[in-house]
Amino acid sequence: MDRRQFIGSSAMAAAALGLGQLSADAANTGASGKRTKLKPFAQTVQAPDGDYRAFLMHLSNNLGKDWPSEQMGENLEEAILKLPEDMRPTLKLHCDYDVWKQVTEHAAEKGINMLFIDVGEGIVLPSHPELALEGSWSVERIREEIVRLNSLGMEVIPLPNFSTAHNGWMKDYRHMISSKPYYRMCEEVLADIYEIFGKPRFFHVGCDEEDRWHIDWYSYRIQRVKESWWCDFLHIIHTVEKLGARPWVWADNCWENPEYFERCPKSVIQQDWYYDEAYGGFDPENKENAHWHRLIAMWNLEKAGFDQVPCGTNWVGYKRKELNVGADDVIGKLVTTGRKAISKEHLKGFMMAPWIRPTERKRIDKMLKAIDLMADAIAQ
């Protein structure tokens, strides 16, 4: 299937799902002015303020993948093969729903009250069906899933990541960063997801790891810095706020950027993530820790007056893997540290992110263990 066939089939699939008629040309350009009005929908659950027990799962498979340029050829499968093997995106959604269901049910049993879904290309969006993959969920399907998750006691929050280090899900728009078409796509995607998820009170927009180390993995490398980064970031934040949701971001950009504490709106929930992958410990006085700037961010964000939801993991980072040290201790230490660093006024809860994508049977034990570790950490 070439690019034109893919775009056309996406548009037809969207029409079949009752998402409105979109021509292949409209799908390719973002379909501005052809927005489909969705049926009213609302979530029925809200996690208690100050006690968010969040867990991250992924529909997106291409979060950290590259995308071929137009010059690599019109045959998409052949163009993808020209990319580095470990950066090649998939054109078919991989999500074992039986595993997804088992993990979410276990999460509910263990007291998880907020589920974040990295949506990416995992949903057929009315304004941009060309971003979907074969097997991406329809609006009806994700809404049915949200109803089920609400019935289990979990508030559901969308997470489309707008970092240039994690935007393989944007396909060709990945090559249009900061342009007018890119801005329009961002606005339309955010509006779609906001309506699909029942006008959620929070909207996580990612924005992590946009640094030289992570960008260097890609064949097409974009790193926004200084005013260029601020323009794009604030556009995303203000778009979310105009929709009616509260923005939520990974806090990476505060680590070594003092102006972040002044320029980032205080309305934005900050999610510092510290996994101790350098194995430097959780002592804020240990400045020899290679990732001390990540750890100390919890104190700096508290001083600046931001609400926070620190994130831990049981993912084994590079240094821990090198030392053959597991990561089951991270979330417990993070919860203890977060409670010391952040005031009750600003500490809204914690998140567990096992970073397992796609959702598949062979890694279910790691996901279930992550939930158990989270529950134990919160209870301590």
Residue 9's closest CA among 135, 99, 117? 135
DSSP 216: T
> 199-246 pLDDT, tens per residue?
999 999 999 999 999 999 999 999 999 999 999 999 999 999 999 999
DSSP 19: S
Domain ranges of the chain: 3-379
**Average pLDDT of 48-76?**
96
> 173-187 pLDDT, tens per residue?
999 999 999 999 999
CATH of the domain spanning 3-379:
3.20.20.80
* Cα(163)–Cα(169) distance, integer angstroms: 11
117: enclosing H helix or E strand: strand 114-118
Residue 57's closest CA among 357, 361, 329, 326? 357
Phi-psi map region of 355: left, alpha, beta (phi>0 left; psi -120 to 50 alpha): left
Q: Is residue 130 over pLDDT 60? A: yes
Collapsing DSSP to helix, strand or coil, 213 comes out as helix
> 330-366 pLDDT, tens per residue?
999 999 999 999 999 999 999 999 999 999 999 999 9
Quickly state the pLDDT bin for 35 (edges 50, 70, 90). Answer: low
Quickly state the pLDDT bin for 36 (edges 50, 70, 90). Answer: confident
Average pLDDT taken over every residue of the chain: 91
Contacts of 337 (CB under 8 A, 6+ apart): 274, 282, 295, 298, 310
Q: What's the pLDDT at 6?
A: 40
- For 285, the token pair is 């006085």
